[in-house]
Structure 1
Amino acid sequence: MNIDSTTSQLVLAIDTSTDMLACAVAELVPGQAGADVRVLATGDHLCRRQANVELVSTCQDTLARAGRSMDDVDAVLVGRGPGSFTGVRIGIATAKGLACGLERPLFGTSTLDAVAWGVWRSGVRGLVGVVGDAMRREVYPALYQVGEAGPERLFDVESVSKVPAAVSAWAGRADHDQIMLAGDGLKKYRVQFEAAGFSRFADEDAWNPTGEGLLRALAAERVAAHVGSGDATAPAQSGDPALVLPVYTRLSDAEENEAKRLGLKEPATVATTGCDDALADRHLQLRPMNVNDVAAVAALEGEVFAPSNHTPWSARLFSDDLAEPGHIWWVAHDEGQIVGYAGAVMAGGDAQVSNVAVAEGHRREGIAGRLLARVTYDAQMLGAATSSLEVDAENAAAQRLYAQLGYREVGRRPNYYGKGHDALIMEAQLPLVTPSRHDTPDPHASVRPWPIVAAPRSDEEAAAIAGAGPLILAIESSCDETAMAIIDGAGQIVANVVATQIDFHARFGGVVPEIASRKHTEAVVGVYEETMAQAGAHFGVDTLVPADLAAVGVTQGPGLVGALVVGIAFAKGLAAGSDLPLIGVDHLEGHLFANLFETPDLRPPFVASLVSGGHTMLVHVRDWGDYEVLGQTIDDAVGEAFDKVAKALGLGYPGGPVISRLAAKGNKKAIHFPRAMMHSGDYSFSLSGLKTSVITYINNENKAGRPINLPDLAASFEAAVIDVQVAKAVDAVRQTGAKDFCVGGGVAANPQLREAYKRRFGHMGVRVTVPPLSACTDNAAMIALVAKRRFDRGELSDLHMDADPNMSL
C-alpha cells in the first residue's frame, strides 16, 4: 500500500531518539510544488527515560486532539536516529507494531534531518550545524545548507565523532563563523564550540526533533526521489516495516574490540575466533574470518571457481584484504573445516559483496544466505543502507537465491566474466529480507509489497478461525531469541516461531546485550509475519490478520532490559494499532507453565527448580499465580557457570550443550570439585566458587604442562553442579510434602540433570516432569500459556507497561 498521490493522507509521526518524545498527526496534501504538511495536532514533550511508558498513550492522545482515531491513520512515520540506542529502538519497535496492527505502511527518516527542518521552521537560513548527542563524549555532526525550500544535506551518511574532532572539523572551514548550531549535543558540549569561536546558536526550542520536522523531512525525501515523476507524495521507501531500522553509526563495543583484534597480523586465538571447533564438536558455526583462515578459504575458492572463468584469489590476497578497514569477511565452518565464506567492502553507503562461496557438499543448506546476512549486518552497523553484487548472467541458481534475499537486477556488465559471460548487477536494501513461506520472490522487484494482503476466505474458513478463539499472540524477547506463538481457546499452540541469534553471540563467548537488542529490532516483524502465516496454515488459510486475534501477550521481565523493551514496544504498538488488550507475562512463570506441555494434568501444589543462564532457584508452587521462592543463587546461575567454564576451555558458546556432550564420555569421579552450600540448611545456591575451582584447575594443569582430559573434567564439573541441585530439591520436596516435582529453564535440557532428578525422586514416589527439549530454552509458547490464563481471568495490563528486568515471581 502506497501513499496516494492525489488525495490527502493522514500520517502519525513519532520519535524517541532524544529526551524529547516527538509526536505529530498531520495530513500530507499533494500540491504542484510537492507534498504540503498540514499539522493537525502535536504531542511533543520532554520525556527522559520514560518513552516506553508514554509513547503509545501520547499517540492516542494526539490523535484524539486531532479529532482522529487509529483507524484513520494511512501511514506511520518514525525517526530512525541517530540518537540514544535504546530510545531509537523503542520508537522503531513501537512504530513497527503500530504498522503491523494497522496493516499500514511504515516509513523512517533521519532524526538529524528532523532537527534541521525544525531550525528551518524557526526562520533560520544559511549554514546550520546539527550536533546530536551520541554519549561517550561523542556527537553526531551534520551540516546543512538551509534555504527557503528547506535544508539540504552537506554530508552523505550519518556519522559519529569525538567532540574535539567534530569541533575541529567545522572550525577549520573558512565559513565557520556563519554556521548556526543546533542539536541536543549542545546541552553538554556548547562550551567546547564556544571556545573554538562559534557564537551563533539556534533557539533551544529548535534543538530537539519534532513531529512536524519528521513529517517535513519525509515529504522532502519523496519530492527529491521523484523529481519529474509527477508523483509528489509517492514514497521513496517501500513501506515495509521490516526494512525500517535504526541509523547505526558504529559497531557495539564488543564488536569494535573484536574488529581491532582481527586486524592484528598475528595468529588468532580461541578468544578471537570464539570457538575451538575440534573440542566443541559443533556443526556449521559462523564467525568473522581471521588470519588463520586465509589458506583454507583460498583453497575453497580454488575448488569452487576452478570450473569457471573467475580467477581465484590467493591466500595473500585474502590476507591483505582482511586487514583493510571497511572490508568484512565471514566464514562458515563444520568442526574446524571451512565450508563457506562471504565478504563485502564498504563503498559509502553501499556494501559491495566481493564473493560468496559454499563447498559443494554443503550447498542447499542455507549457508550462503546466512553468510550474507552476517556480512551485511556488519555493514549496516558501519552505515550501509544498500548492498550490491555481480552475478553471472547464466547462474540462475545464484540469481534465485539473491532474489529471495531482496536483491533486484539494476544493470548488466557485458563480458565481465570473459567473452560472452555477462554479469548482472543486483542491489538490495538493508537488512536483507528472507521471504516468508507465503511470499513469491520476484527477481525484478526491489522489495515485496506491504502490507501482505490475505487471500479471501470462505465462510467455512472464517467460521473455523472464529470457532477456535480466542486466539492470543505471545511475544518473547527477554534474551537472545525473538519468539512468537499463538494459542487458541482450547489451549492448543497453533503457531510457534523462534529466531535465534546464537551465531552472532558465539564469537564473544556469551550474549552481548547491545547486539541482542539490535537483532530483536531487525527480526521482530519477520517473526510476526511467519507466526501469523504458520497459524494461518493451521486453519487452511494463507495467514491470520490482526482482526483474528483476541489479545497480545508479551514477556515483561525478567531479562536483558534492552532486549525486553523491543518486544514490549512492538507488542504495545501492535495492541494499540489493532485495538487489542495487552497482557504482561513473567518470563519465569512461563518456564513453570512449560511443564504443562509434558504433563497436561499437572496441578499445584508442587516444587519446581528453575535453572537457566540467568536464574537458579527452587520454587514452591502453591497454586498457579501463587509462588514462594524457597531459595536462589547468591552469585552465578547454573547456566552462567556452564558458559564460563566452557569459555575457559575454549569450547565456545553456548557452553551447556558442549559440556554435556563431553561429560557423557567422561568419569564424573575423576576430579573432585566442591559442592558449595550443599549442607547449608537452606535453599540457597552458590556457583561462583565451583567455577573458580574449575578455572584454577585448568590454569594449574596448563602451567604444569599436563594435558587436560576434557571428558573427565566436564563430567566432574557437571556432577558437582547436579549433586547440589538434586540434594536441595529433595529437601524442598520433603519439607513441602509435594507429590510432584518439575524443572524449567534452558539447563533443564541437560540429560544428566534430567536423569538424576528422575532417578532420585523415583525412589521417593514423586512424579517428575521435565518439559520437552524445545520448551526448555526461551520460547513464546510457554508465554502464551500464561497469557491465556491471565486473559481468561481478566488480568490485563495497560499501555503504560514497561520492561521490568528484575521482575520476580
Structure 2
Amino acid sequence: MKLDQFRTLIVAIDTSTDMLACTAAWWIPEVFFDDTPSRACVEVLASRDHLCRRQANVELVETVQGVLADAGMRMEDVGGFLVGRGPGSFTGVRIGISTAKGLARGANVPLMGASTLDACAWTAWGAGTRGLLGVAADAMRGEVYPALYALDDVGAHRMFERERVVKAAVAVEEWAARSDASELQLTGDGLVRYGKLFEEAGLMGRALDPELWRPTGEGLLLAAADPEAYNRIESGDPALVLPIYTRLSDAEENERKRLGLAESVNTAVTGVAEELAGRHLQFRPMAAADAEPMAALEERVFADAGHEAWNASMFLSELFSDAAAARSWWVAHDNGELIGYAGGMVVDRDIEILNMAVAPEHRRAGIARKLLSHVSYDAQMLGCTSASLEVEDGNTAAIALYQSLGFTEVGRRRGYYGPGCDALVMQASLPLVLPVDPASPEPTAAVQREWPLPEPERTPEESAELKRRQLILAIESSCDETAVAIVDAEGNLLANQVSTQIDFHARFGGVVPEIASRKHVEVIVGVVDAALEEAATSLGLAGGAVAPAELAAVGVTYGPGLVGALVVGVAFAKGFAASAGLPLIAVNHLEGHLFANKLTTPDLEPPFIFTLVSGGHTMLVHVRAWGNYEVLGETLDDAVGEAFDKVAKALGLGYPGGPIISRLAEDGNPCAIDFPRALNSRGDYRFSLSGLKTAVTLYIEQETKAGRTINLPDLAASFEAAVFDVQYKKAKNALRETGAREYCIGGGVTANPHLRRMMIEKLGRQGIRVTVPPLKACTDNAAMIAVVAREKFLRGEFAPLDIDADPNLTL
C-alpha cells in the first residue's frame, strides 16, 4: 500500500460490536523505520464512537461524513480507509466491511483491515493498561471470542495465532487455570453478557473500566499501525479485505459430515443429477455414482503418460473413508458427461491435492481452476491455511496453471514418476489466487493488482460524452447472485455482470442465507470492477474502466430479499455513492422484475396486468400507472420457484429445480398425471402450491411403494401444466375484469420456455399483447434494477444515506 510521504488522512470504522467506532486521524508512516511505539504513528483529529445497536447500516455513512466535518476535512481529502474485520456480529462485520469497500472503491483509495480483538487490546493500551490482558468479545449463543495479549510500553502483543470461538464457560475455565490468573486483566463486551461466569471464577476483580470494553476508532488505528500488522497489509485493494470468521454457518457445520468429520456420511447426491443433460458446465461434490466415470476419465487422461491410474474402488474409498483426515472431492460435468474432477485430503491445516484431471477436449476453459477453487474453499472451512500438490517436472502446462493460482516450488522428489522423472512439490497459501479472465467468467476472487488504480486520462470530448450519457451503476444482491449493471440516461445497457453462487448452494439443495451474504462480501468489488470495465469497452473509451466519479448515480436493491444479502449491497452502494459524490437511488426488487420487460418492449406503458413468478414471490398485479400497483393476489404458501425446487428435491434431481423440471418436461406428456389446480375459481386471484407439492410427493411415494418406475418426463410435464394452467387462467380473468389489453411477466420462472410460449400463444389469440423479458433478465440481475434506477434518476427520486435494507418490502 502506498501512502503519502509525510502523512495520510485515514478514516477508521468498526461495526463488529454494538459500538459504532469512527475516527479520522493523520497516519504518519515514516515512524516504522525507528523504534518508537505505534501510538506515534496516529494523530487523532476527530472521533464519533458511540453505542449503536442494530442501527449501524443506518448511521455509518453519515457518521463518517460527520467525523470528516469535525476534522475540517472533506471526503476527497481522505487517503485511505481502515475497517474492523471482526470477529463479531456477522451482520455488523458485513456492514462495516461492505461500507468500507464502497467508500474505498468509490474514492479509489487504499482499504486496510484489522482485527477487532486487536482493536480492543490497543484501546486498553492507549488508556495506559500494561501487563496480561484477556479480551472476551461477545459471540452470542453462549460463546465468546477469547484472546490473550501482553501489553508493554511498545504495544499490545498477541499471545495466540488466530481468532477462535468457544463457549464462555470454556474461556473462563482456561483462564482461571492459568498460573498467572491473578495478574489477568479483563476487557471485551462479552463481560456484559457473561460477567457473572467470570466473577464466579474470581476473574472480574481486575476487569477494566466498562468504558474500555468495546473497540474504538483510535484502538483500530493503533492496531493497524503496529509494525507486525502493517507488514501483513498487502496492496490496499478493497477486494482483498474480508471478514474474520471463526464459525461456520449451520449448513456448513452439517457439511463437515460430508467432508468426513463425523461418523455418518451423507451419500445423497447434493448437486446436479444425471437428468440435467442439457445444462452447461455444472460443478458439484462427488457422489458414489461418479466413481466409475471418474475412473474412466482417469484411465483416459493418465494411461498415455505411463502413470498408474486410480480405479473406481479407490475413488469410492475417498468418499467413504473412515480415516481421521477430512476429504473434499468435486466433479465437473457438461451435458451429462463427467469432464473433470479434483480432490484432496486435509493434513495439519494443509489440503493435499491427491488427484485432478480434466478431459483433454475441455481444457483451457478454466475448469481445473474452478475445481481447485471449490476444494480449497472446503479446506478453508476446515481450518486449512495452505494447499500442496505434486506435479511432474516438465509438465509445463500444469506447472503454469498452479503458478497462476499462487503455488510455488517447495521441494522435489527425485525419480518419483520413474527414472529421471522428478515430482515437483508445490504449495500455496489459502485462499488461492483466482484471477478474473475469459476462462473464469465469474469474478470469484480479486485480481492481484496495484492499488489505487490509475486515474483514466480523458480527452475533453470523452469527458463531455460521459457527462451527456449520465451513466447509472446499479447493484443487485437480494439473494444468491451478485450483479452489477450500468445504463445510460437514454436506456442503453452498457454493462451487465453477474457472479453466481449456485455451485456453493447446490450442495445444500437450496440457498443458504449465511453463505449468500458471505459470498456477496467476497465478490462485490470484483463485479463492480468488471462492470466499469465493460462499460468503458461499450463506450469505446481508453483507460481500462469508467471511473466512479464519471458516473451520474448509484442504484441498489434495498428489498425485498434475504436481509444479510441485501445489507451487503446497500452498505456498499451507500459508501460508494458517498465517496464518489453521487446521488443514491433505492430500488424495489419486485419493481425491477416488472421493469425488466422494458428491456424487450421499451414502449410498454400502463395499464396492464403483470405476473411475478420467482423463487420467493408469486403475485398477480394490476399496473395502473408506473408506481401505482394493485396486487390482486399473492401466494398463500410456496412461491412457484420454491415449488419447483421442492419437487426436484423430492425426486433427487438436485438444485435449482426450475431448469431441471423444464428440461425433463420437454420429453413428457402434460396430461399423463392429473395433478390438482388449487384456488382455480373465477375472481379468486390468490395462489397456493402446497397442495400440489403434497400431491406430487404422495404420487412418488405410491409409485415407489408399488414397485413401478416413475416416468420423470411425464411427471415433470404434468407438474408444470398444473402450475402454469393456474397462472394462465388467473391472468386471463384479470385482463377481462380490468379491461387491460397488455400483459407481461417477470421473475426467474419466466425463463421456463413452456410458460413463455403458453402465455404468448393463448393470450395472443385473444388480442392481448404479451411481453416477456429477455432470458438473461429473468433471474435476479442488475439490468432490471438499472432500468428502474434510470426512471427514478430522470424524476430526481433519490434516497438518503441513512436508508437500510428492507427484507419485507412490498410492491
Q: TM-score, normalised by structure 2?
A: 0.92
- 1:202 matches 2:204: no
Preserved contact between residue 376 and residue 430 of structure 2 (Cα < 8 Å):
no
Preserved contact between residue 2 and residue 235 of structure 1 (Cα < 8 Å):
no
Tell me what 1:707 maps to: 709
Which of the residues 780, 786, 791 maps onto 2:782?
780
- 1:186 matches 2:219: no
Structure 1 pair 247–8 and aligned structure 2 pair: CA distance change class (3 A): same
Instruction: String of CA shifts for 1:526-564, please: whole Å, max 9, x gaps.
Output: 101100000011122221111210000000111111110
Residue 704 of structure 1: how far off its partner (Å): 2.2
Tell me what 1:224 maps to: 228
- 1:169 matches 2:174: yes
Tell me what 1:476 maps to: 476
Partner secondary structure for residue 478 of structure 2: coil
Structure 1 pair 317–630 and aligned structure 2 pair: CA distance change class (3 A): closer
Which amino acid in structure 2 is aligned with residue 273 of structure 1? T
- 1:73 matches 2:78: yes
Which of the residues 694, 697, 704 maps onto 1:695?
697
Q: Distance in 1 between matches of 2:43 and 2:395?
A: 50
Which of the residues 237, 241, 254 maps onto 1:240?
237
Instruction: String of CA shifts for 1:659-685, please: whole Å, max 9, x gaps.
Output: 112112112122111111000632111
Tell me what 2:720 maps to: 718
* Pairing of 1:268-283 with structure 2 (within 5 A): 268-270=266-268, 273-278=270-275, 282-283=279-280
Q: Distance in 2 between matches of 1:605 and 1:446?
A: 47
Which of the residues 129, 132, 135 maps onto 1:124?
129
Instruction: String of CA shifts for 1:45-82, please: whole Å, max 9, x gaps.
Output: 11111111111111111111111111111111111111
- 1:23 matches 2:22: yes
Which amino acid in structure 2 is aligned with residue 622 of structure 1? R
* Structure 1 range deviating more: 718-727 or 315-324: 315-324
- 1:679 matches 2:681: yes
Which amino acid in structure 1 is aligned with residue 373 of structure 2? A
* Pairing of 1:85-96 with structure 2 (within 5 A): 85-96=90-101
Residue 744 of structure 1: how far off its partner (Å): 0.6
Which of the residues 543, 554, 557 maps onto 1:555?
557
Instruction: String of CA shifts for 1:279-311, please: whole Å, max 9, x gaps.
Output: 676453222335665665566455544555877
- 1:100 matches 2:105: yes
Structure 1 pair 190–392 and aligned structure 2 pair: CA distance change class (3 A): farther
* Structure 1 range deviating more: 210-219 or 143-152: 143-152
Pairs aligned (count): 791
Which amino acid in structure 2 is aligned with residue 373 of structure 1? S
Which of the residues 781, 789, 792 maps onto 2:791?
789
Preserved contact between residue 408 and residue 446 of structure 1 (Cα < 8 Å):
no
Structure 1 pair 63–345 and aligned structure 2 pair: CA distance change class (3 A): farther
Structure 1 pair 662–434 and aligned structure 2 pair: CA distance change class (3 A): same
Instruction: String of CA shifts for 1:112-169, please: whole Å, max 9, x gaps.
Output: 1111111222222222121122222222121222222112111111112223333333
Q: Distance in 1 between matches of 2:119 and 2:387?
A: 26
Preserved contact between residue 675 and residue 718 of structure 2 (Cα < 8 Å):
yes
Instruction: String of CA shifts for 1:758-782, please: whole Å, max 9, x gaps.
Output: 2221221111111111111111111
Q: Distance in 2 between matches of 1:577 and 1:676?
A: 52
Which of the residues 132, 135, 138 maps onto 2:143?
138
Q: Distance in 1 between matches of 2:736 and 2:498?
A: 37
Preserved contact between residue 57 and residue 804 of structure 2 (Cα < 8 Å):
yes
Which of the residues 756, 759, 762 maps onto 1:757?
759
Q: Distance in 1 between matches of 2:240 and 2:369?
A: 17
Tell me what 1:590 maps to: 592
Which amino acid in structure 2 is aligned with residue 208 of structure 1? R
Partner secondary structure for residue 552 of structure 2: strand
Which amino acid in structure 2 is aligned with residue 212 of structure 1? E
Tell me what 2:770 maps to: 768
Tell me what 1:448 maps to: 449
Which amino acid in structure 2 is aligned with residue 477 of structure 1? S
Residue 587 of structure 1: how far off its partner (Å): 0.7
Preserved contact between residue 262 and residue 290 of structure 1 (Cα < 8 Å):
no
Q: Distance in 1 between matches of 2:387 and 2:396?
A: 19
Q: Distance in 2 between matches of 1:794 and 1:292?
A: 57
Residue 421 of structure 1: how far off its partner (Å): 3.6
Structure 1 pair 203–438 and aligned structure 2 pair: CA distance change class (3 A): farther
Instruction: String of CA shifts for 1:631-672, please: whole Å, max 9, x gaps.
Output: 111111111111111111111111111111211211212211
Tell me what 2:220 maps to: 214
Q: Distance in 1 between matches of 2:459 and 2:770?
A: 46
Tell me what 1:457 maps to: 458
Instruction: String of CA shifts for 1:773-801, please: whole Å, max 9, x gaps.
Output: 11111111111111011011010001001
Instruction: String of CA shifts for 1:243-268, please: whole Å, max 9, x gaps.
Output: 11111223211121122245267775
Which of the residues 727, 738, 741 maps onto 1:739?
741
Q: Distance in 2 between matches of 1:304 and 1:141?
A: 49
Instruction: String of CA shifts for 1:602-638, please: whole Å, max 9, x gaps.
Output: 1111111111011111111111111111111111111
* Structure 1 range deviating more: 512-521 or 537-546: 537-546
Structure 1 pair 320–2 and aligned structure 2 pair: CA distance change class (3 A): farther
Partner secondary structure for residue 96 of structure 1: helix
Partner secondary structure for residue 108 of structure 1: strand
Q: TM-score, normalised by structure 1?
A: 0.92
* Pairing of 1:798-809 with structure 2 (within 5 A): 798-809=800-811
Structure 1 pair 98–380 and aligned structure 2 pair: CA distance change class (3 A): farther
Q: Distance in 2 between matches of 1:175 and 1:599?
A: 74
Q: Distance in 2 between matches of 1:279 and 1:197?
A: 62
Preserved contact between residue 404 and residue 435 of structure 1 (Cα < 8 Å):
no
Partner secondary structure for residue 568 of structure 1: helix
Residue 176 of structure 1: how far off its partner (Å): 2.6
Which amino acid in structure 1 is aligned with residue 704 of structure 2? N
Which amino acid in structure 1 is aligned with residue 617 of structure 2? H
Preserved contact between residue 436 and residue 529 of structure 1 (Cα < 8 Å):
no
Structure 1 pair 268–346 and aligned structure 2 pair: CA distance change class (3 A): closer
Partner secondary structure for residue 273 of structure 1: coil
Structure 1 pair 436–455 and aligned structure 2 pair: CA distance change class (3 A): farther
Which amino acid in structure 2 is aligned with residue 318 of structure 1? E
Unaligned runs of 5+ in 1: 226-232, 440-444
Tell me what 2:69 maps to: 64
CA RMSD of aligned residues (A): 2.7
Which amino acid in structure 2 is aligned with residue 737 of structure 1? G
Which amino acid in structure 1 is aligned with residue 332 of structure 2? A
* Structure 1 range deviating more: 314-323 or 657-666: 314-323
Instruction: String of CA shifts for 1:81-128, please: whole Å, max 9, x gaps.
Output: 111111111111111111110101111111111111112222222221
Q: Distance in 2 between matches of 1:688 and 1:128?
A: 56
* Pairing of 1:165-564 with structure 2 (within 5 A): 165-199=170-204, 200-220=206-226, 223-224=227-228, 236-263=233-260, 268-270=266-268, 273-278=270-275, 282-289=279-286, 293=290, 297=294, 300-301=297-298, 303-306=300-303, 314-315=314-315, 318-319=318-319, 323-325=323-325, 327-334=327-334, 338-344=338-344, 353-384=353-384, 387=387, 391-392=391-392, 394-405=394-405, 407=406, 409=408, 411=410, 413=412, 415=414, 419=420, 421=422, 423=424, 425=426, 427-428=428-429, 430=431, 432-435=433-436, 447-467=448-468, 469-540=469-540, 541=542, 542-564=544-566
* Structure 1 range deviating more: 250-259 or 52-61: 250-259
* Structure 1 range deviating more: 707-716 or 49-58: 707-716
* Pairing of 1:35-46 with structure 2 (within 5 A): 35=38, 36-46=41-51
Structure 1 pair 124–309 and aligned structure 2 pair: CA distance change class (3 A): farther
